[in-house]
Structure 1
Amino acid sequence: MGKIEGIAIKNYGSLKEIVLGKTFSHQREKPLGNMVTIIGPSGNGKSTIADAFGFIADCLEMGVESACDAGNRGGYEQLLSQNSKEPISFEIYYREANNTRPITYELTIALDKFSRPFVKEERLRYRVENRGWPKSFLHLQNGVGFAFEGSQGGQDDDTGAIEGNKVAVTLADSRKLGIATLGAMKQYSRIEKFLNFLKSWYLCYFTPDAARRLQTAAPQPYLDRIGSNLNNVAQYMYRENRSDFLKILLNIQEKLPGIEKIQPLKMPNGQMVLQFWERGFNDPFFSQKMSDGTLKLFAYYLLLHEKNPRQLVFIEEPENGLYHHYLADLAEEMRKNVGTGYSKQLFVTTHSPFFVNSLPPDDVWVLKKEQSGFSVAQRASDYQFVKDLTEEGVPVGDLWYSKYFG
């Protein structure tokens, strides 16, 4: 359980210093909701924000040096904002549930004396309500520092006062995240919870061609990043709870144009395919013959109906390959699916006013570049005229399309 109430990114490409929502250093801002939609012209940093989330996930999985080179990022020097003398840093403001204290995770990445990317500083801390400065329960600098065991305690950032069981920590490799090592140990339960939250992130790079690949029958609970195991996920859901899966398929097929029935089929050779019955035809079509749009919609709706959902999902430009009239329904389904609790949070970048029309201005962030060439972000509801007009019933996407803002 958990969600991000805010994130700050510094010196990451065109994101010289950008803040979305409420963070430790921006306490007066409104927290992010369960659905966060980022709009703006091409080249203004939307993909860079998506990649920043992917970069953090890659740092956890493979270490910071490999993450800097992964996905054609080009290394640390190419990631660092031009002319920046400060390192790359992230601040994630996270809350596990409504009745828990918010936790801040800070990560700073720089170059060591051998010009290799390493973790310069890493910290987890929580704010003690009405008691001044927060308490750190993990603080590492150059791989050396401390961590606190158990579910309570920490070191006061102002006075240095200690509460709980403090343990000295020295990492063997400062190019690996401390939370990846310590979070694997049960005695560091708070670090473990945050680690599990980061592990649950899903960055969607779905490609229809990948979903068309013939796959050996092997039930899998989650879609991979490109959707190449779409049939296997359908197989898993079909096997684990057939009645629930059929209800899900019924819900999905009502939203897919011209589709009357969807069913997974295990072939004699052990491969798994999906059958789609289209209106007007007696025989089904296999997923390999379905249109890009149908496969994308099916994948998105399947993603929204995961039994044990990933806690943070990031989708870039879901409108690509989709008929514009389907986008409003998709946006509404996404908003309904994430709800208001702490089980799931969805980030989306889009160019589509049709998608944005289904969203309130609080859920929409406008990204644009200043004269400096760096991006800035502003909530659509922070434009007073946008707030006023949407209260009168004018959709946000129409205002954006008509260049009232953004």
Structure 2
Amino acid sequence: MGKILGIAIQNYGSLKDISLGKLLSNQSGAELSNMTAIIGPSGNGKSTLADAFGFLSDSLAEGVERACDARNRGGIRQLLSQGSEGPIHFEIYYKETQNDSPITYELSVAKDRMGRPYVAEERLRQRRAGERNGRPLSFLHLLNGKGYAFEGKKGGQEDDGKSEGEKQEVELADNRKLGIVTLGAMKQYTRIEKFLNFLRSWYLCYFTPDAARQLQSLSPDPYLNRDGSNLNNVAQYMYRRNPVEFKKILADIQTKIPNIRRIEPIEMPNGQIALAFWQNDFKEPFYSQRMSDGTLKLFAYYLLLHERNPRQLIFVEEPENGLYHKYLATLALEMKLNVGKGYGKQLFVTTHSPFFVNALSPEQVWVLSKGEDGFSTIKKASEYQFVKDLVSEGATVGDLWYSEYFG
């Protein structure tokens, strides 16, 4: 359980200083909804924003130095905003459930004297249970890998040094690794463990149809991987867990994919599952290797929405690529309905498509643009003049955007 109420990013490429939603440092902002679409012209920072989420995920898995070099990022010198001397900084405002106090996670990644990235500061803060005002207590605070952490579900330290609860001094062996990874593996650090599990549940989608066409070895997987190359393995896992339920899921998905009248799992002689697609006007089925890019993408997105134990946060870049524009409003609506209003799942999408955006409300759409200094700025669609009024009169957000009423 859990979701991001707000996020701020500083000195990450073109994202020199942006924030979305409600933060500890900006309590006046409205909490992010479960469905968030980021729009704007090419070159204004949408891919950089998606990559910032990927950087956090990669830092968890491999440490900040490898994360700086991964996915063609080019190292910390290339990542830092031009002209900036400060560190890359993230602030995440997060809540486990409706009744929990929000948690703030802050991460600063800087260059050392050799030009290598390291974790300059890492901090987790939370107000006492039941408190709505006042400064939260730090229950993890590390500077260059050294500091303190508090055990259990409560306690922490105030900025003036006063503390309550079970405080432990901490010094990491490697300041290029995140402290939450080391401490979150220990049961006594309950809140750190929960936050770590939340971050690890993120899914950054880099789905490519060619990867999905690959034949995989017999290895059932509970979740789609980033490029979708294990699509049939996920189908195999779902089929083994509950074949009746999986067939119901396929029956639901097939109603949403054009020109497909039936999808069935076929068990091969070696025990592997292959997905068979029956297209309209054809008697014999086609398998994934012969399906169009658009059909495979739609199937993967809908399968993602049917995960039994869903990832807490999903980030999809430009789902419209390779899809006929008339399918996008239905896909957006399905995504919007799937995430609901609780704390079970949160979805971020970057898109150029007004057809996708038409299914969303002004509160769910954020617009990236370039400022006069060349860095990205971001603004919620509902903050633009006339947008809310025009939508209340029947206009759609995507059509208003396409007609240049905003953005």
**Range into which the TM-score falls when normalised by the shorter chain:** over 0.9
Looking at structure 2, the residues matched to 72 and 271 of structure 1 have their Cα atoms a distance apart, in angstroms, of: 35
Q: TM-score, normalised by structure 2?
A: 0.98
| Deviation (angstroms), 1:269 | 4.5
- Cα deviation, 1:356-382, whole Å, max 9, x if unaligned, reads 000000000000001101000000001
Please tell me whether the aligned partners of residues 314 and 347 of structure 1 are also in contact (alpha carbons under 8 angstroms): yes
Shift of the alpha carbon at 1:264?
Answer: 2.0
Q: Is the 8 A contact 1:217 1:266 kept in 2?
A: no
* Distance in 1 separating the partners of 2:350 and 2:288: 27
CA-CA distance at 1:272 after TM superposition: 3.7
Shift of 1:270: 5.1
Between the aligned partners of 1:207 and 1:138, the Cα distance in structure 2 is 39
**How many positions carry a matched residue from both structures?**
405
* Separation (CA, whole Å) in 2 of partners of 1:50 and 1:148: 32
- One-letter amino acid matched to 1:145: G
CA contact (8 A) 2:235 2:273 kept: no
Report the AA paired with residue 137 of structure 1: F
Match of 1:300 in 2: 301
**TM-score, scaled to structure 1:** 0.98
Partner of 2:13: 13
Q: Would you say 1:90 and 2:75 are equivalent positions?
A: no
**Does the aligned pair in 1 maintain the 2:262–2:277 contact within 8 Å?**
yes
Deviations 1:212-241 (A, max 9, x none): 011222211000000000011111111101
1:337-361 deviation per Cα after TM superposition (whole angstroms, max 9, x unaligned):
0000001000000000000000000
Please state how far the C-alpha of 1:130 moved relative to its aligned partner: 4.5
> Partner amino acid for 2:78?
Q
Partner of 1:121: 121
Alignment of 1:117-196 (within 5 A): 117-128=117-128, 129-157=131-159, 159-196=160-197
Deviation at 1:113, TM superposition (A): 2.3
Q: Which range moves more in the overlay, 261-270 or 75-84?
A: 261-270
Q: What residue number does 1:76 align with? A: 76
CA distance in 2: counterparts of 1:74 and 1:272, whole angstroms: 39
Q: Describe the shift of the 1:130–1:278 C-alpha distance in structure 2 as closer, same or farther (beyond 3 A).
A: closer
State the match for 2:54 in structure 1: 54
Return the alpha-carbon distance in structure 1 between the equivalents of residues 133 and 269 of structure 2: 66
Residue 378 of structure 2: aligned partner: 377
Contact 1:136 1:155 in 2 (8 A): yes
- Matched to 1:259, the amino acid is I
Match of 1:392 in 2: 393
Aligned counterpart, 2:38: 38
CA contact (8 A) 1:122 1:141 kept: yes
In structure 1, give the amino acid aligned to 2:39: I
Unaligned 5+ residue runs, structure 2?
none
CA RMSD of aligned residues (A): 0.9
**Distance in 2 of aligned mates of 1:271 and 1:245:** 15
Secondary structure of the 2:363 match is helix
Larger mean CA deviation between 47-56 and 229-238 belongs to 229-238
| Structure 1 gap ranges (5+) | none
Specify whether residues 55 and 75 from structure 1 end up closer, same or farther in structure 2 by C-alpha distance, changes over 3 A only. Answer: same
Q: How far does residue 320 in structure 1 lie from its aligned partner after superposition?
A: 0.4
Instruction: Give the secondary-structure state (helix, strand or coil) at the position aligned to 2:386.
Output: helix
State whether residues 215 and 271 of structure 1, in contact with CA within 8 Å, keep that contact through their aligned partners in structure 2: no
